[in-house]
Amino acid sequence: DAGVTQTPRHEVAEKGQTIILKCEPVSGHNDLFWYRQTKIQGLELLSYFRSKSLMEDGGAFKDRFKAEMLNSSFSTLKIQPTEPKDSAVYLCASSRTEISNERLFFGHGTKLSVL
Amino acid sequence: AQKVTQTQTSISVMEKTTVTMDCVYETQDSSYFLFWYKQTASGEIVFLIRQDSYKKENATVGHYSLNFQKPKSSIGLIITATQIEDSAVYFCAMRNYNQGKLIFGQGTKLSIKP
């Protein structure tokens, strides 16, 4: 089975630009997560979907970050407008819903650099 | 509110020894799941081992085992017979039974010296 696929692997943006990151979860997984990873803050939850419904929107990330689950096999994370402090690795993960102790499968991440 | 805390920023040990990494958590729920993940130098994050809160036995997988102390809200990861390839960042995480989100600790960087 294919794992979680994230594209692009690297993204460079100018301050103020809009960028869209993409994620394809493991086939059959109904839980999808977006995390941001930085050295200082560690792994922060941005959004969490269950069966395409938004369950958690990450509080502090609401204003410029918007995650969507267009169908069960594709999700996007839009950052608009980007700021230099958004430079980080953005990770997508998925898991099965039926088993609540199920582990997460992670994508390789998208490294975003905002100039 | 959920919270996971790893106080050890980095640890360095000699190869073939045993290392313990600490993790404490906070939750209001009576049922929850605790996980340890490993992030390699390439950035890949992989699942290592899980402890279900209602199980008294400590989980063991290969050379990974857990020291679950529920009264202390503590879940330590023990790696025996460490190998160079165990060098990585280790994350502790928690997921409540009725909530899907997974909350991570800050991570502990483990270095194994030959």
Residue A1 has pLDDT above 60, yes or no: no
* pLDDT value, residue B61: 95
**Separation of CA A115 from chain center:** 21
Q: How many CB atoms lie within 10 A of CB B108?
A: 21
Among A77-81, A105-109, B93-97, which is the least confidently predicted range? B93-97
* pLDDT value, residue A38: 95
Residues B14-42: pLDDT tens digits? Answer: 999 999 999 999 999 999 999 999 999 99
Q: How far apart are CA A106 and CA A47, in angstroms?
A: 14
Percent of chain B topping pLDDT 90: 89
- Residues of chain B neighbouring A105 (CB-CB closer than 8 A): 47
* pLDDT value, residue A99: 67
CA torsion A11→A12→A13→A19, rounded to 10°?
0
List the single best residue of A43, A102, A111 to mutate versus B (max B Cβ within 10 A). Answer: A43
Q: What is the average pLDDT value for chain A, to the nearest integer?
A: 91
* pLDDT value, residue A56: 84
How close B105 comes to chain A (CA, Å)? 8
The CA distances from residue A105 to A1, A12, A17, A46, B37, in Å, are: 12, 26, 30, 16, 10
Interface residues of A toward B, Cβ cutoff 8 Å, are: 31, 33, 35, 42-43, 45, 48, 50, 55-56, 89, 91, 93, 95, 97, 100-101, 103-106, 108-109
**A48, A103, A108 ranked by CB distance to B101: nearest:** A48
* pLDDT value, residue B70: 95
How close B89 comes to chain A (CA, Å)? 11
Residues A36-52: pLDDT tens digits? Answer: 999 988 999 999 999 89
Per the CB < 8 Å rule, is A101 touching B104? no
* pLDDT value, residue A57: 81
Mean pLDDT, range B50-61, rounded to an integer: 95
User: Comparing A59 with A114, which gets the higher pLDDT?
Assistant: A114
Mean pLDDT, range B99-103, rounded to an integer: 83
Mean pLDDT, range A76-102, rounded to an integer: 90
* pLDDT value, residue A63: 85
Are the beta carbons of A81 and A18 closer than 8 angstroms?
A: yes
- Residues of chain A neighbouring B103 (CB-CB closer than 8 A): 45
* pLDDT value, residue A34: 96
| Nearest-Cα residue of chain A relative to residue B32 | A101
* pLDDT value, residue A98: 65
Q: How far apart are CA A23 and CA A12, in angstroms?
A: 18
Residue A84 has pLDDT above 60, yes or no: yes
Q: Which of A27, A30, A31, A67 is nearest to A47 (CA)?
A: A67
Q: How far apart are CA B93 and CA B5, in angstroms?
A: 9
